[in-house]
Amino acid sequence: MLSPEICQKARLSRDPRFDGKFFTAVKTTGIYCRPICPATTPKEENVTYFPSAIEAANAGYRPCLRCRPDSAPGSPAWKGVSATLDRAIRLIDEGALQNDSLHRLAERLGISDRYLRQLFKKYLGIAPKQYALYQQCLFAKKLLHQTKLPVIQVSLASGFNSVRRFNDCFQSLLNMTPSKIRRSGTTKSSALQLQLSYRPPYDWPYMRSFFMARAIPTLEWCDEKSYGRTFEWLGDIGSFTAQHIERENRFDVTIELDDVTHLSAIVNNIRRILDLDVDIQAVEQDLRQCCGDTSFIKTGLRLPGIWNMFEAGIRAILGQQISVVAACNLVATLVTELGQSNGKNHLFPLPESIAESNLDFLKVPVSRKQTLCNLAQHYIESENPSDAQQWLALKGIGPWTVGYAKLRGLSDPDIYLGGDLGIKKSMMKSKHNFNPDKASPWRSYLTFQLWDQL
């Protein structure tokens, strides 16, 4: 937790770089806010600071209707304290406790459910299920504010199976009713259009250029202000377009989706792809300390993601030892030939489509085609196919492929691709003299910083 002195300076200046890093609770009103809240600044003696929205809610405060804490960038309060906790939070945000039990989640993490509860209690002060319910309510609040979805659709999209259960949890955890949110008159759109905030700085020109250079026609689209693509999530098919609004430190995201059941997990994945929740200032400070030569550190540089691990793995295999342009041409051919089409755009091919194809349309060695089929078959047969370390047992997949897939398919922050030709050229060209391992746990950001030097 930041010191009270730092929190006070940040809230008085409404510094957006602290948005989501702490929350301000006002004793006289019973409301908690983001540090950028436009409301009249309360006196310091009436203020209490919390590292997360959940802790403010547990203390009996309700979220502000003006600054809307549900729209803040993800709080990094628990980041780095436990890899197991970090993975548990990611799985819960993807809906693990909506469709399964705490015991099953603990099994996936390789720990007991008792130890999992202890981790949440130690670092977040609440139980895993309570964390999941609170995140569901905050997401529902976002939908009530920004869309005209019927309340029953909002309840389904946020992971509740009934409106009654939704209303009870919403009232209990947020100290307000869904109808009060709707009566506030802040609804903006009848479509699925959401605002996703981030903490500046954010180097959108770099992110845009990276996406644009690798965009696959009919699968992805990218222009000066936006990036978008088609996607599939647990059988649901849709697309999104994220438009960068620099002056507001956010993206306006339009989502087309027939079934909103998994909307929360889809939005979290879009946040990951755009790398909206990292505290980039803290990352860059660590990189400068470990690298010595700080002249090459470019501020605001994020990790551009890929929709999922399977797509990242296939794209990595097709990108082995060839140029970016050549790799994109191969991926484009694969998408055109095997990806499901709606007449205008394509989805990335499913594992079954690749495994059942002879891939004769790809101008690559037979061994490379077999590697693609091996990975696809692994996804069909394995209980945990996204565990990239298992891929090393597949012929044709080595450490670079695994590392690249984890870097972009999981947005793992600690991947250093030292064997990459571009990284080697960058290190030789700039004559950097430092130990990359000292950049842990932010070696992925170091990888992109070095790529940027080419």
pLDDT tens by residue, 34-90: 999 999 999 999 999 998 888 898 899 999 988 999 888 875 544 555 678 888 888
Residue 130 inside a domain? The answer is yes
Q: What distance in Å separates the CA atoms of residue 402 and residue 396, rounded to the nearest whole number? A: 11
Instruction: State the Rg of the chain over Cα.
Output: 22
The DSSP-derived string for 303-314 is: ----S-HHHHHH
400 and 442 inside one domain: yes
pLDDT at residue 184, as a whole number = 59
Task: Mark whether 42 and 160 lie in a shared domain.
Answer: no
Q: What is the mean pLDDT of residues 406-410?
A: 96
Stretch 199-221: mean pLDDT = 96
Per-residue confidence (pLDDT) for residue 173, from 0 to 100: 87
| pLDDT for 183 | 66
For residue 348, what pLDDT is reported?
98
CATH code where residue 100 lies: 1.10.10.60
Q: What is the pLDDT of residue 342?
A: 80
CA distance 359 to 186: 51
Q: Give how far the C-alpha of residue 362 lies from the chain's centroid of Cα atoms, to the nearest Å.
A: 32
Contacts of 34 (CB under 8 A, 6+ apart): 19, 20, 23, 24, 64, 67, 68, 69, 71, 72
Mean pLDDT comparison of 3-7, 160-164, 329-333, highest-scoring range? 329-333
Rounded-to-integer distance, Cα 266 and Cα 254, Å: 12
pTM above 0.85, yes or no: yes
Based on the fold, state whether residues 168 and 110 are members of the same structural domain: yes
* Of 392, 393, 396, residue with least CA distance to 368: 396
- Please say whether the beta carbons of 80 and 96 come within 8 A: no
What pLDDT was estimated at residue 190?
44
Q: Kindly state the average pLDDT of the residues 438-454.
A: 90
* Mean pLDDT rounded to a whole number for the chain: 90
Please list, residue by residue across 128-161, b when 16 or more beta carbons sit within 10 angstroms of its beta carbon and e when fewer do: bebbbbbbbbbbbbbbbbbbebebebbbbbbbbe
- Segment of 1-10, 286-295, 376-385 carrying the highest mean pLDDT: 376-385
For residues 98 and 176, membership in a common domain is answered with yes
Q: Which of 135, 158, 183 is the last residue of a domain?
A: 183
From residue 56, alpha-carbon distances to 143, 173, 245 in Å are: 21, 11, 29
pLDDT of residue 76: 53
Considering 70, 101, 125, which residue would you say is the last residue of a domain? 70
Instruction: Please state, in angstroms and rounded to a whole number, the distance separating the CA atoms of residues 371 and 442.
Output: 30
Domain of 131, in residue numbers: 83-183
| Cβ(307)–Cβ(348) below 8 Å | yes
Encode pLDDT of 334-370 as tens digits.
999 999 998 889 999 999 999 999 999 999 999 999 9
Question: What mean pLDDT do residues 199-223 have?
Answer: 96
Q: 3-state DSSP helix/strand/coil percent for the chain, to nearest 5?
A: 50, 10, 40
Q: Are residues 315 and 431 in the same domain?
A: yes
pLDDT digits (tens, 9 = 90+) for 6-39: 899 999 999 898 898 899 999 999 999 999 999 9
- Could you tell me if residue 209 is inside a domain? yes
Same domain, 32 and 101: no
Same domain, 170 and 207: no
Give pLDDT tens digits for 148-196. Answer: 888 999 999 999 988 999 999 999 888 888 888 876 554 444 458 999 9
Residues 17 and 147 in one domain: no
pLDDT band at 242 (very low <50, low <70, confident <90, very high): very high
Q: Does 319 have pLDDT greater than 80?
A: yes
Tell me which residue of 263, 161, 179 sits closest to 170, measured CA to CA.
179
pLDDT digits (tens, 9 = 90+) for 278-317: 889 989 988 988 877 677 789 999 999 999 999 999 999 9
* Alpha-carbon torsion (57, 60, 62, 68), positive or negative: negative
Which of 31-45, 88-102, 431-445 shows the highest mean pLDDT? 31-45
Terminal alpha carbon distance of the chain? 38
Rounded to whole angstroms, the Cα distance separating 61 from 222 reads 41
Give the number of domains in the chain: 4
pLDDT recorded at residue 79: 55
The CATH number of residue 196's host domain is 3.30.310.20
Q: Is residue 412 part of a domain?
A: yes
- C-alpha 448/C-alpha 454 separation (Å) is 10
Q: Which of 44-48, 57-61, 123-127, 255-259 has the lowest mean pLDDT?
A: 123-127
